Structure 1
Amino acid sequence: MSGVISGFTVIFIMVGVGVVLGRTGALGDHGHEVLSRLVFFVCTPALLIYSLITTDLSVIFSSTLVIAGGSALAVGALYFLIAKLVLHRETPEVVIGALSSSYVNSVNLGLPIAIFVLDDASFIAPLLLFQILIYSPLALVTLDKTALQRGGGNPLRDAVILPLTNPILIGGLVGIAISVIGWMPPQAVLEPLKMLGNASVPGALLAFGMSLTGVAVFKKGQSPRRDIALATVLKMIVMPALVYVIARWGFGEEGHKLFAQVVIAALPTAQNVLVYATRYRRGQVLARDTALITTLASIPVIMIIAWLLA
């Protein structure tokens, strides 16, 4: 249980620093947006390249990849259908909401919990790669086509070309290509990638904290309450329950492995979603409020899971 507390303490401290930066205006009027763009265009791609170069890709071919990836897609699709058919939201907001309901905080909270609670960081690797290499590109392609209003053209051609202009996907493809050919770049190349990649997580957390400045979370008339409530319920209740069912009866997992799968599913919404929302200027309040609420809710949820399954 101390690992859970430790992981959340790290996050709250970093977010708190971001709040202070926002309130004092230390980074200027556009500090939040600039920092978000830095994380999106530079730090996260560098993190991907370095991680893929230095990681054995065989770890992604496991039951965790199918369970975590399949459940994320299922929950995201469920949100998409409800938001479109019942709430009648526009596609960019629906995409951000779908990510908010199923995109797991696998780095800044997932890794500490995997290390301190699950005693095995390999549990988080398949989900991390799935989200960055498959889930994010799917969402970002849709946002490129809808939020940026890039109409016309050949749909098939755009589906191929647009992802290749996205720095997140480019970083993933470069990392995989280098890893597959088995080439290890010299230390002089790896070290800058590592330094930039290490700035991705704290940068996203600081940007998240800065986004909270001068705003009231879940405020009536400003915050899309129904959308946030839907995303939160799907993320903190439906997704862990679905993973339990799939892992327990679909793959026959039990004991520590089953416990690990459910804990990973109960991690809160990643701050990366807010970075994407800021980049496309759609659904920012939805992403921000859902990330904060699920982060707070995940503390008792993970403790309950630990009590029931650990």
Structure 2
Amino acid sequence: MSGVVSGLAVVWAVIGLGWLLGRTKLMPTSAQDALNRLVYLVGLPALVFLTLLNAHVGDLLGAPLIVAAVSGLAAAGMFAVIGRWGLRLSGERTLIGTMGASLANAAYLGVPLATYVLGSSVHVAPVIMFQVGFLTPTLFVLADILAADRRPTVRSVAITVGKNPLVWAAVAGAALSVAGLRPPAVILDVVDVVASSAVPCILIAFGLSFVGQSPKLYRAATAPIALATVIKLVIQPAIGYLLARYGLGLGGSDLFAVTCMAGLPTAQNAYLAAHRVGAGQDIARGVVMATTVLVIPTFLIFAFLFT
């Protein structure tokens, strides 16, 4: 659990740094536009590429990947249905809530959790593989379609997919991994430096977005924030547990591992997508904050239930 606490401390420290830079006017709050664009066009694609390139795809195709995929898609579908037709949210706000309920902070909090609590970072690899290889690019393509503000056609969707850097990064990384090929070391060094900028830039931009924000601004988003938080931290790991135990026959430490990985807090990518579609920023900020804070008691409960 010390790994989770230290990981959370770093996340909140960098978010706090972003807020402090904006609050003291050392950095204008408008800088979040440039930071988000940098992450979307360069940082996140580089991170996706390296993650899939370094993943041994064949070794990851098994029960943990099935659990990550099914629980993630189920969580996304649950919020999409309830948010759209139950809470009557707009398409844009439904998408952001869907991302908040399903996308996990696998790289930044999943790695320390898997390493220090579960004993190996390999446990988070299937979650990262599913998210960066499918779920994240898919949801960002939907965000781009909504941002275009026009009725999608097959041609427009194809063009949007073709313009999405995450899609190309995922395809390139997975293809090279399967083929057993690697770019020259000098190129990988450059990509690695660029990829390392993704998380801090997102967190600083996230912190900047809180400058001048009042708690009153979240009142209209209380229901979707609560719904996404419950789905992410309770329902998604419950689905993962039931599937792993009764559908795939996992038990012991393997069952505990996939349950924990299904209950990781929401990734800041939800805020990045909200910025792109111009709606749902309050939902994204609220869900990221709530899940990142509540993950500590949630995992303590998991540990108690499995002992």
TM-score band w.r.t. shorter chain: over 0.9
Secondary structure (helix, strand or coil) at the match of 2:107 reads: coil
Please tell me whether residue 131 in structure 1 is matched to residue 131 in structure 2.
Answer: yes
Identical pairs, percent: 35
5+ unaligned residues in a row in structure 1: which ranges? none
Change (3 A) 1:156 1:221: closer
> What's the RMSD between the two structures over aligned residues?
1.7
Output the CA distance in 1 between the equivalents of 2:218 and 2:109.
Answer: 31
1:169 equivalent in structure 2: 167
Secondary structure (helix, strand or coil) at the match of 1:109 reads: helix
Change (3 A) 1:170 1:27: farther
The alpha-carbon deviation at position 223 of structure 1 amounts to 4.1
Output the CA distance in 2 between the equivalents of 1:134 and 1:171.
Answer: 11
Please tell me whether residue 35 in structure 1 is matched to residue 35 in structure 2.
Answer: yes
Output the CA distance in 2 between the equivalents of 1:27 and 1:220.
Answer: 23
Q: TM-score, normalised by structure 2?
A: 0.94
Q: Kindly provide the amino acid, as one letter, of the partner of residue 306 in structure 1.
A: A
Q: For 1:227-266, what aligned pairs fall within 5 Å after superposition? A: 227-266=224-263
Output the CA distance in 1 between the equivalents of 2:276 and 2:218.
Answer: 23
5+ unaligned residues in a row in structure 2: which ranges? none
Please tell me whether residue 67 in structure 1 is matched to residue 64 in structure 2.
Answer: no
Q: TM-score, normalised by structure 1?
A: 0.93
The alpha-carbon deviation at position 209 of structure 1 amounts to 1.8
Please tell me whether residue 299 in structure 1 is matched to residue 299 in structure 2.
Answer: no
> Are the aligned partners of 1:231 and 1:290 in contact in 2 as well (CA < 8 Å)?
yes
Q: For 1:1-310, what aligned pairs fall within 5 Å after superposition? A: 1-151=1-151, 155-217=153-215, 219=216, 223-309=220-306
Secondary structure (helix, strand or coil) at the match of 2:159 reads: helix
1:208-261: per-residue Cα shift (whole Å, max 9, x none)?
Answer: 2222222134x3665411111111111111111111111111111111111111
Output the CA distance in 2 between the equivalents of 1:198 and 1:112.
Answer: 16
Q: Kindly provide the amino acid, as one letter, of the partner of residue 119 in structure 2.
A: D
Q: Kindly provide the amino acid, as one letter, of the partner of residue 109 in structure 1.
A: L
Secondary structure (helix, strand or coil) at the match of 1:149 reads: coil
Output the CA distance in 1 between the equivalents of 2:214 and 2:107.
Answer: 27
Secondary structure (helix, strand or coil) at the match of 1:108 reads: helix
1:73-102: per-residue Cα shift (whole Å, max 9, x none)?
Answer: 111111111111111111111111111111
Q: Kindly provide the amino acid, as one letter, of the partner of residue 305 in structure 1.
A: F
> Are the aligned partners of 1:107 and 1:201 in contact in 2 as well (CA < 8 Å)?
no
Output the CA distance in 2 between the equivalents of 1:183 and 1:246.
Answer: 35
Change (3 A) 1:276 1:175: same
Higher helix share: 2
1:46-73: per-residue Cα shift (whole Å, max 9, x none)?
Answer: 1122222233222331211111111111
> Are the aligned partners of 1:223 and 1:286 in contact in 2 as well (CA < 8 Å)?
no
Change (3 A) 1:118 1:216: farther
